[in-house]
Each structure stands twice: as C-alpha cells, then as structure tokens.
Amino acid sequence: MNSQNYYELYRLSSIGTALTDALDVLIGEGRISPQLAMKVLNNFDRVITETLSKNVDANLTFKGHLDTYRFCDEVWTFLLKDVTFKLQRSEMITADRVKIVSCNSKKPGEA
C-alpha cells in the first residue's frame, strides 16, 4: 500500500465539497463510520491529484500585481491583484484578486 501523503487542496473544490457533504450525511444517518469517511477523503486526495497530473495538459499565462506571498510547510501561497489570464485559444479573462497555492508535486527522494 502506498504511504504517500497527498495535499487536501481539492477538498475545497465543488466536487470535494459535495463529497464531504455526502459523507457527512452518511455519517449522520449511521450508514458509514467516520473512519471510513476519512479513508474515502484520503483516496479522493490521491485520485484527483493523480488524475489531474496525468490527464490535464492545458497551458495559460497570467500577469498581475503581486500583493502578498508566503512559504510555510513546503507550500507557497501567492495573492495577486488585477490579474489577466491568457488561455490557449487567446481568450482573455480578468480577475480583481487571485490566490495561487503551489505545492511540491515530487515524491520524497525524487530529483
């Protein structure tokens, strides 16, 4: 069994929130244990990370003003203002504020 720990970043996505809500209902109804719910969430963390890394190859560029940045527990967080995103088909999207969280994708010991 893989002992690799995965980040819990995607639990706050819409699909992660829906999964958490469904698990809460099942726990509340006594249909599953909290321990099983945690196993499901840990499996979700692994599967979504692996799926996104293997199946998504979209590129974009962005430009904005760096407001704040921090590095804590091997995780970078950047807060940007007045951001413009340029997608692959030259589509442009703007946002007043953007938060980027960046984590190391390499497993311990990988170069």
Do both 45 and 83 map to the same domain?
no
Do 86 and 60 touch, CB atoms closer than 8 A?
A: yes
pLDDT for 1 equals 43
- Angle 34-55/14-28 helices, nearest 10 degrees? 160
- Phi first, then psi: what are they for 8, rounded to 5°? -95, 20
Q: Domain residues for 46?
A: 9-55
In the DSSP assignment, the letter for residue 8 is -
pLDDT for 67 equals 96
Tens digits of residue pLDDT in 3-45: 466 778 889 899 999 999 999 999 999 999 999 999 999 999 9
Task: Tell me what the mean pLDDT of segment 77-84 comes to.
Answer: 96
Token code pair at residue 54: 């293997």
Whether 109 maps to a domain, the answer reads no
- What is the Cα–Cα distance from 59 to 86, expressed in whole angstroms? 9
Do both 65 and 37 map to the same domain?
no
pLDDT for 105 equals 67
pLDDT for 6 equals 78
Tens digits of residue pLDDT in 52-74: 889 988 888 999 999 999 999 88
Q: Give the total number of structural domains in the chain.
A: 2
Neighbours of 5 (CB within 10 A): 11
